[in-house]
Structure 1
Amino acid sequence: MMEGLGKSLQGKSAALERMAEVLVTGEQLRLCLHEGKVIKDRRHHLRTYPNCFVAKELIDWLIEHKEAPDRVTGIRIMQKLLDQSIIHHVCDEHMEFKDMKLFYRFRIDDGTFPMDNEAKVFMRGQRIYEKLMSTDNGPMQTRQEGGRNHDRTLVASEFVDWLLQEGEVANREEAEQLGQRLLEHGILQHVTNQSPFVDGQLLFQFRMNFRRRRRLMELLTDRCPSIPENHDSPFCLRRQNPNASSNSFQSVSPSKEVKMVSAVRRSSMTSGCSTNGFYGSSPVLSSSPPVMCNPKSVLKKKVTPEELLSPGGPYVKKTFTIVGDAVGWGFVVRGCKPCHIQAVDPGGPAAAAGMKVCQFVISVNGLNVLVLDYRTVSKLILTGPRTVVMEVMEEKEADH
């Protein structure tokens, strides 16, 4: 009976999970096209059409960036997005995606995206996933069931406790109903796919990895990739030597040249950091190697707020405007009073803005954070807008 229940739940969620994959993949493409200026305001017959792309130019872009092998495949990919109401012709005159000089637009950009119950559940599940991933010592941990280890599992009752603590639900009954909806939509699953969500000691996992690298070609298959067993972050924080017992991680040197990239980065739905404070930059649209975070501080000495702000001191203020990507901003913040930049993804939004390690964080979106710890600063960034304005202090370069 339990086996039959598991198969029933899986079958019910399959179509919804495929829909969710289309939403995530489409959003990643949208952000990339914005960053690459493929999406922009365009004029035609004395009228301005905001946030549009030209179909023919987009197919060129897909082929150039190896997202499609040829024009026919590119058209099929975009037709999939059109069929799912991710994009539309600016005047809704074409129900087929045509490889012509026609204007199309993402519905999220003009507020016409259909927010039905399925989309709302999916987006809520995505937000909860990101909050869990950014929580130190949170309820997602490795646990054993059926003689094997399961990474990032949730004990149902502890998950309910967390939902109440975070204000996601008003009571345990509402939390249980939310857990069941997430399960029915293919976002959550019992570790052996044999139980509905109940407020007890059963183990559950997020079935969808919202931070996984997605390719547009996946839109043309019926396969719904499940969350991998090991996905420390979307930017793959790894030990320098996986077989070594050392806890050392690589980080970006403050003197290392930053490679500027034009690939996309940012998401209105999935800006987050991993449990180690890393604002991961999605590898979806970047060929940059993984950045690795070093738990050991990169600072040579402790600096006080008074030293940083001392008139005529050795520090200079800089301001960065960083537009987050599909999963974050691409840097690690550590320490307290003041916090400092611990690591920077060389292909991420922060690096593109000019951020470097060893800079001290002065303010976030106009709020002074000199006397706050990195957890509080992290929360400010995560709960704020996708565009983060940060003031930092860095040591002046020595005169030669």
Structure 2
Amino acid sequence: MHAQNKIASRRYHLRIYKACFVGTDAVDWLIQTRHAHTRDEAIASMRILQDHLVIHHVCDEHVFKDEYLFYRFRRDDDSYTCYKDLKSFYRGQCLSQRLHNKREVLRDIHANGQLYRSSFLGCDLVEWLVDNNEAFSREYAIKYCKKLMENDIIKHVTDDFRFRDDRLIYQFTIDFSQPYLLCDISRFRRTLSERSSSGTGSDTTDTGINQEISTSHSTISDDEFCTPCKPNIKDDVSNSEQKSDTHIQQPQSVLLRHMTAEELEDPDTPYVKHKVRVFCDSVGYGFVIRGEGPVYIQIVDPEGPAVAAGLKVRQYLHSVNGVNVLRKDHRTVAKMIIENPGFVNLVIMTHKRDTFS
């Protein structure tokens, strides 16, 4: 918009508003340049930018409208500096652009049979920031990079580690060198929504859950799993008849990577703690656990009390009623939960990629 002179000083009621654009002109320009297909789509996309404080009405009195109203990019009046998240985003964008041709830092990296494109090592970025006077010390550079990671500007390639001054591999979450259309912003929002709703166990059928619940108080071998749920009475007979000649199939783990108790206790762990209270209904608590220290949630009944309390698959159990269970096996943890008559207090650990406001 700057390059095509859509941003300019404008006068209204004897007052001059610098570096602004007109709502109607912006909608026309977005359609002409194929940033949007319809006027409604253009308005909706600009309002997303306004919601995220990228643009604002010059007097902060109107949402974006297809009318003769003046709006401004916060980057043009430096008001973005009042918002830490937006400031961090622009700093990340600037850093990405500066590193674009620095192949000694940003490059394709092979590791463990995988190719990670446009990636960088944490120690390389820290060193570059110091050498180029972007940070006056390695400690400050590390703090700066951690802030970028907290704001989802950079990420560990497998989301398993926070930022470290080490030979861990990281990437920018957005390819800032890629030209985008404004209508892409709706796709980014949908992707975020889908990520925030992942891990609910909605792809598990009620039948499968009932079959697993019915075995919770049966004799379980070392490679099977148990559940902190009361048995389903209607399945007891059929299961007991089959137990003698049919081995229970172990389901595939839902974990993306198995974490150790030490990794979860590390101050730099990407997992955050939450306290929840789960009430027991006539069937049970409504979730299945696995693991041999730490224990994690394998299945959540989409209609049970656990999902109502906020439990999701891939969460780790940190404590049960105030007792640390990171190094206990699933049988011990299940017994601790089942012994509670009406409700259980849990501290769960959720990966930051699955935690959204």
Normalised to the residue count of structure 1, the TM-score between the two structures is 0.43
Higher relative contact order (CA 8 A, sep 6+): 1
Structure whose alpha-carbon radius of gyration is higher: 2
